[in-house]
């Protein structure tokens, strides 16, 4: 009976065997994300002089980050000011065990884009003529950015 009871106490820890998670790296405690090929494109389609349908997309690749197995990274981009925020959760073994640590890291930086905007307006547009009253297309040259974690917490 003691064996069964002690097995039940140990079993949850066996589910997270040391081989399931990597060892923490020096970048784990103060992560820096390197964003490459940040590309931004935006479109506004004006169906009337008073109604626009905006759409935008941003893409990039993340390098030099503590991306471990089962880690999650989220981002938020605000076009006004070019603020790009990163939030990442990752788990690793501190000092090769026995302590399993989960880190929560957050950082932000402002991007500077070199963009071209093309505005096309139909001066003779009427509701009956159909089509778009105005289109605004913005394409930005790819850029790079470094983001250093400004907030980090850990649970061991």
26-63: pLDDT as tens digits: 888 888 999 999 999 999 999 999 999 999 999 999 88
Q: Is residue 150 part of a domain?
A: yes
Q: Is residue 51 part of a domain?
A: no
96-124 pLDDT per residue, tens: 667 888 999 999 999 999 999 999 999 99
pTM of the predicted protein model: 0.73
Q: Find out whether 152 and 88 touch, Cβ atoms under 8 Å.
A: no
Number of domains in the chain: 1
Q: Is residue 28 part of a domain?
A: yes
Q: Is residue 129 part of a domain?
A: no
Residue numbers of the domain that contains 88: 19-40+56-116+139-155
Q: Is residue 33 part of a domain?
A: yes
Q: Which residue(s) pair with 86 in the sheet?
A: 75, 107
């Amino acid at each position: 009976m003691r064996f069964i009871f002690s097995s039940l106490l140990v079993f949850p820890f066996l589910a997270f065997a040391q081989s399931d998670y990597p060892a923490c790296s020096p970048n784990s405690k103060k992560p820096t994300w390197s964003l490459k090929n940040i590309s931004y494109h935006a479109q506004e389609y004006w169906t009337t002089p008073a109604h626009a349908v905006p759409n935008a997309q941003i893409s990039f690749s993340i390098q030099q980050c503590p991306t471990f197995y089962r880690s999650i990274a989220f981002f938020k981009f605000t076009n006004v000011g070019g603020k790009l925020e990163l939030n990442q959760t990752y788990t690793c073994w501190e000092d090769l065990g026995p302590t399993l640590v989960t880190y929560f890291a957050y950082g932000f930086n402002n991007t500077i884009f070199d963009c071209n905007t093309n505005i096309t307006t139909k001066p003779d547009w009427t509701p009956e003529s159909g089509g778009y009253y105005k289109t605004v297309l913005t394409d930005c040259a790819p850029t790079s950015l470094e983001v250093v974690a400004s907030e980090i917490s850990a649970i061991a």
